[in-house]
Structure 1
Amino acid sequence: MMETGYAVNGRYQIIRPIGEGGMANVYLAQDLILDRQVAVKVLRLDLRNDPNTVRRFKREALATTELNHPNIVSIYDVGEENGMQYIVMEYVSGTDLKKYIVEHFPIPYQRVIDIMTQILSAVENAHAHSIIHRDLKPQNILVDEAGNIKISDFGIAIALSETAMTQTNTLLGSVHYLSPEQARGSMATRRSDIYSLGIILYEMLTGMVPFEGESAVSIAIKHFQDAVPPVRDYDPRIPQALENVVLKATAKDPDERYSDVGQMVIDLSTSLSASRAHEPKFVPLQGDMGETKVIPALDPEGVTQQSNASEAQLNDLDQPTAVQKNKHLSKKTKRKWWLFGIGIVVLVLFSIFVAYAMQGSEVTVPDVTDMTQENAVSALAAEKLKVGQIRKTTSNKYSKGHVILSTPDKGMHVKSGSTVDLTVSTGRKKYQIKDYTDKVFTDINKMLSKKGLTVVRRYQSSRSVEPGVILSQNIAAGKKVVPSKTTIILTVSSGKPNITLENLSNYTKQAVQEYVANVGLTASFSEDYSNTVDEGLVISQSPGSGAAVQEGTNVNIVLSKGRKAPATKHFTKSISIPFDDTLTDAESSLTTSSESSDGSTSESSSSIATATTNKITIYLEDSTHSLSNVFREMTITADTTIDLPFTVKADQAGRYRILRNGQEILSDDYVTN
């Protein structure tokens, strides 16, 4: 199990596991280069040392990369990393056909035919490349969210060019959809795939598989012993022509099935037609595949005699229709003896008729496939057969005027003089081109690709048409073309012409306005501070210089407001101013003179004189004050604490000076808080 987030080969980033199989695990991943979701199939760890498994795993990638079809899952990449084999393929978001049948049953007959037509188209493409799927089953058929079909898992597909029979004794594929010849261990052929397709069609019509059992072996035995139950037994409303498609595709003898997928497509496409409403039921002529049957005889009492065969042996053998009828007749004879006698007479007459027919009245329908209609008529006449109804239909395989198939089909035994219907090709199916201008390209591309055309997109700018809308086409509307051989070029609007933006750094606002007006753009402006770009000039632009933009695009311009002024802060500083009671010489003299005039002696006055006040002068410097000016003057009579208010910018500091009686006593040149 790979971890989520792991990038395989550094490119495919694992998102989550989405499936586990017998040979590999499948993960949803993101392609980091192409920015799309993909499915990554990784060979299981326990099988990486098995050379046969590694060879089969690589063969799947090789086989599928040869196929390019809208109904086949595409392979993008194949590689190996640290001994880990992986395949990168298209991721189909949806469900598989098995779950689709369960969720949507009963499915309308036309929807069944639509789904089968897509499946058949994919298988026909694989067969054209000599690739047999060998494991066709609803679990390997994906249905996307739009209802389109994708076939996956070519893990056991084998190219017909590989003549070595390496799987002789190994049954590959799912047993519920296994052809009788594969169940016997024989090499699978194109008609083996057709058998599986018939079983898938059976399941879509009935909601169940035709054979169930307690083990894979018991189911496999039923595939080559038991007839597929008629779908009309389950739903009588199913048209006989549609049931005949199932019966012919699942005939036990491969020679009685459709010779190729193209014939099954043609037969299926008309199965709901009113012209086939009264079609007889298809009955294989060689349903026993050449096996020897033990046919019990009837005694007069109608009791089955088992001569030289044990009861167990009889139980393992198919009961021929004639014997079943005889058994039914024998029950009647127990009640009425005379009916037994009539039955004997009928059997004798029937034996005489068969003997007569064997003497030369029965002929074999020749193979007229791919003959011109004229040559086919001659070939049938040579076998004493007549041409009946001639149907015309398109065909991608057979040229115009050539026979696609005959009814009865080649190799079947019919009475001499019988009529044989022919289906003749009118050439490849053509598609009428329509006018796609003014339509959204993605819608038209999806529709035309589904029809089989190759679509090439070219871009062209347009001032009037929205991006993604088709401007023109190289094939005129009304022309009929063969889809598989046609490439249509659609010219799509890429929108208005692209303009490569100049570098607008250091442009003034006026210069920007002139530029955008000249080239067909618009501009919106905003401002911001910048320590490097002068005020009024462009700091930045979005989209950036060199970007490709369309006409009319708006360019966002940021202009400089210059340097941003530092933030201002306000705070107070508490200062304690001490009181000084000492008198200065001048104060002392002044005091002595004053006292002498009062008649006191100078000596006694000098001994008791002290200062009673201090004069305080404060200088402060901040964003609004200067030290050259007095901030405050005051008189104190004792120690005093004052608060000095400062207003300074964030990157600056304040200053102060305090004088007492004219003498500086306190100062600070770096006051920040």
Structure 2
Amino acid sequence: MSSEEPPQDDREFFSIAAKLNFISTEMAQDLTEEFAAGNSHPTQMILQKGLLDNVEIDIVQTLLHSTEIIPDYKILGMLGKGGMGVVYRAKQLSLDRIVALKTVLVSQMGNPNMASRFEREAVTVARLKHPNIIAAYDFGQHDNRLFLAMEFVDGKDVEKLIMQREYLDEATTLGIIRQVASGLSHAKQHGIVHRDIKPANLLLIEPPEWFPLPPGVPMVKIADFGLAFLTQDQNIQTRLTAANASVGSPHYMSPEQINGQEIDHRSDIYALGATMYHMLTGRPPFDGNTIPQIIAQKLNGEATSLSAGPHVISEQTTQLVKDMLALKPEERLDDYNCLIDRIDAALQERPTLQAGIGSSTDTVTTILERSHLQSQAMTTEVDQPVTSNRKRRYIMTATLSIIVLLLLGLLFFYPKQPEAPLRSMIPSGWSEPLFNGQTLGALPSSGSWTVDKDDEGAIVIAGTNGMIRRPLLRNNLPLENYKLLLFVRLNKASAVQLHFGIEQDQKGKGPYSVLRITPEQVILTEHRSPSAESSTPHTIQNAADQYHVIELEYQHGHWWVFFDDQLVGTVNTQQKPILPEVRLSVEGGPAWFSDLQIEELIPVDQEVISEN
């Protein structure tokens, strides 16, 4: 290599960034050529162009210098990243074993006491020795970076399994929850509270031969023990300040934890009950998008009964979940041994329960690998007596023939409409606010739009009339699949509209879809043909006096539109060129908008790992 040729590490910077999906392959090629022609360092180029943030740059540098980051460890690839920490797959060289290496930059913590707390928690967690708890091996600090080496578990988490199968059957759920309760009981004996039990922290693997489990029930490994304080959950979208946010995931955390009160093991039992509810129904018991919404739901009443779920659940299991989700800790089921006994009683009371969506032949492999919930036809085979009555056979044959002809005729005259696919995508870990709370920036608009404060003092976008547009891009490229979240309050406006799914044409005025909100109702309207189609109006109350949450998911050409957690409708724009933008319009304002955020979605089985 000549003295003027850039170092190999520098030349690989952009290709690794592309493998991590931080930039596109085409952009990586362009940047590599630009780098070869100039003298700028890759990190300087990336920062100047605003393509990566400091954490993403650190990840690329870590993979480039895989043996120089943590002594005795070689970084092999990235497993995931959260609010402050990054988890890598690594090899511990001295013991020749693969580990999960969680790293946290001290500079990202903000609180100088975090490092000492990290050390205390790591020492405590290292004492836990239980087959259902991911083991902690090593911890320390090197070059302003905290690290914790843990058992590497190559499994699927319960959250992904629920997304693939919509919900889990009762026996599989009970088998999984029983193992988690056993692990949490062991932690309680050591005075440890997990603080963040949720489906994403329960990893499923094939059980070893020595570990007895019912057929079809996978083995569970509980992740992130004692380290919840290091995470800033990406699912928390709230108008509250960070100082008011509680540690944990609000969909599952107990009322006392979400209110910042003292907690003990009963808080973990509540979270386990919320997780169990989610597994059985396909949704959390209190499915709000903000901490205020969830608090209000939890304090205003019980979760919807499991009897209203998608399948029949036994009375024992229904009552068990209810007891685990009791609002007051003193009224809640508070003993893990009792919890395990009640799970065993529920299984023994109904010995016909089998793990695996209605099939006793399901194996752990099918539970972990099956992509979608398979509908099971219930059939009963009965030995039919042989009859000598030919006339009856002829009548039956003729009747069946007529029925078949009628069905074929119906299929001919009423062709089957294509069904929207399942919502099978999950967050990639990348998200970005669409409003920085200070200025509208380059948001193109017409009419009157300003940065203002609402009556609670929160920074909002105030629109009096006209329209504002927002591109939906990552690194200046359109996102393939994404979720848009925003809060809207009508205030004095007579109507607010969200325009999306805008088809491209030369004048930028192609067909589109509209979610229209008035003080009385919300309705989804299609403007894609001369005869516009509308959804059934949803009646709302107090629209002008409170914030409402709009969620817009785009997956493979299909749109799902939610208003305050309720599905308003779906739109199919498959095989149509769609502009990567949304538009907000206001009539007779001002109306207030806040917490606009875009989040990238990826297929549930896509792994973001870059091998070195």
- Bin the TM-score by the shorter chain: 0.3 to 0.5
Q: Compare CA radii of gyration and give the structure with the larger one.
A: 1
TM-score (norm 1): 0.38
Query: Larger relative CO (CA 8 A, sep 6+): 1 or 2?
Result: 2
TM-score (norm 2): 0.42
